Structure 1
Amino acid sequence: MPRTLILGSTSPYRRELLGRLRLPFEVVSPAVDETPRPGEAPADLARRLALAKAHAVAARQPDAVVIGSDQVADLGGEPLGKPGDHARATEQLRRMRGRSVVFQTAVAVVCHATGFEQLDLAPVRVAFRDLTDAEIEAYLRAEQPYDCAGSARSEGLGIALLDAIESDDPTALVGLPLIRTCRLLRAAGLLVP
């Protein structure tokens, strides 16, 4: 009997991305504390949280195959998470303007019943334009990306903030690297078209 697939996330972006695979899945909130540890590197934070989210849900549903994912913007080694409000989003974008930022997107797949656990990281290098304060304000008023790492919603108006994107997994910037996710789901024994 095929195992239930669960996305351990409250992100509507990840839900939409996983839906592209046309696999039946459920969504369960992982309820994980996303506070960075002192001195924790952005990539390490993303990996730790992706795995924690998958395990938090798998602990409640051990027979399911669970996907956990997390994204952290890496500004010169400093983690930038979700801003939460307008003032913090403004500050993040001012700091990123004219700079290169690496969005570290981790994905984990876990099944407690089979002992399966794999984790992968999809870094995406993004070059931000040298944004004016007026451009930042107009973008934030239009998009309100307060639930996006680094305040950048690239699948919307945020694409206009950028000069370039470098990635081998194009959906990673939106929040779920589908190429890597498919690879992990196949390794877990799921049939992915």
Structure 2
Amino acid sequence: MEFACMPEHFVEDVMELLIFASRIPHALDGVKLDDFMNFIIMFMASPEYIRNPYLRAKMVEVLNCWMPRRSGSSSATSTLFEWHLLSVQYLVKNLLKLYVDVEFTGSHTQFYDKFNIRHNIAKLLEYLWQVPVHQNAWKQIAKEEEKGVYLNFLINDSIFLLDESLNKILELKELEAEMANTTEWEQRSAQEN
């Protein structure tokens, strides 16, 4: 209860510092990041403690900064994903939970914001899919979920995005056809173009 009352800007400041430090080569070498990893894993999927979805998404951004860039590469942060106990147990499930939670951020730009957040989550999930110790977590989630809420949500969201993309392709094709008729296209006002 006390933690939920803490001002969220404390957490935001720490996440900003971690992102900044992660972008400086070798700045985190020798720094023990286990406690930060514990914190991120446990609270990124806990809206009852950290209500701001953008702040929880910033935790994913930190994890993206820590993610090894090449598969098979060993870095100080790769052990956080491959050998960290909480990471192996909860990271995939919590990322999927956050993926679902960002559907409604409460912002007037939520429709666009969720795509950036989900893109970062998807990059992490794609990486974790290739890490053998996390494949068991994926299997466990598929077995445990009777209704398959997370996986169904991912599939439905992908279908929606694919449908939107196909509709945009049709719109572009119509626009190209209009542009092919140069006299009509040139007569249109700048606002219509």
TM-score, structure 2 normalization: 0.29
Bigger radius of gyration: 2
Q: Which has the higher contact order (CA 8 A, sep 6+)?
A: 1
Higher strand share: 1
TM-score, structure 1 normalization: 0.29
Higher helix share: 2
